[in-house]
């Protein structure tokens, strides 16, 4: 199988590249934070690794801060691995004025 065939057979429209980064996810509707590990990324989404003691976030809107990247996304896939941890797939969403307003009011607005 050629590389071209492998990329086109994937459900994604854009291939991901390896991007290892410890990251934090903020669940939009609750404000809860979860620490995750980003495994790979593209301009339209990311693949994450998450510990087994985290809540089910499939279908949730999140904001993820990964190294130098901030992405607003929907959790589209959450698959339990044999070791009990999870592989999580997120799909990027466009920032809305409401999400940007939330970011400016709540992130980085804490006293040092």
Residue range 79-83: mean pLDDT, rounded: 95
Are 24 and 35 within 8 A, CB to CB? Answer: yes
The boundaries of the domain holding residue 45 are 13-106
- CA-CA distance, 67 to 54, in Å (whole number)? 21
Domain membership flag for residue 19 = yes
Domain membership flag for residue 1 = no
Beta bridge partners of 78: 88
Domains held by the chain: number:
1
Domain membership flag for residue 86 = yes
Domain membership flag for residue 39 = yes
Q: What is the DSSP letter of 62?
A: E
pLDDT in tens, 18-70: 999 999 999 998 989 999 999 999 989 999 999 999 899 999 999 999 988 99
Backbone φ/ψ region at 59: left (φ over 0), alpha (ψ -120 to 50), beta: left
**pLDDT category of residue 104 using cuts at 50, 70 and 90:** confident
- Whether the per-residue pLDDT at 77 is higher than 70: the answer is yes
The CATH number covering residue 40 comes to 2.40.10.220
Angle at alpha carbon of residue 81, lines to 75 and 83, rounded to 5°: 135
- CA-CA distance, 10 to 31, in Å (whole number)? 33
**Is 0.85 surpassed by the pTM of this model?**
no
Domain membership flag for residue 25 = yes
């Amino acid at each position: 199988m050629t590389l071209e065939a492998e990329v086109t057979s994937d459900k994604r429209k854009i291939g991901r590249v390896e991007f290892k980064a410890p990251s934090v996810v903020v669940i939009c509707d609750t404000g809860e934070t979860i620490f995750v590990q980003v495994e790979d990324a593209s301009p339209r989404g990311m693949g994450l690794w998450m510990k087994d003691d985290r809540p089910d976030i499939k279908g949730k809107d999140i904001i993820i801060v990964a190294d130098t990247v901030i992405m607003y996304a929907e959790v589209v896939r959450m698959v339990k691995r044999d070791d009990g941890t999870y592989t999580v797939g997120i799909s990027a969403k466009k920032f809305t004025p409401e999400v940007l307003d939330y970011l400016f009011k709540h992130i980085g607005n804490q006293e040092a």
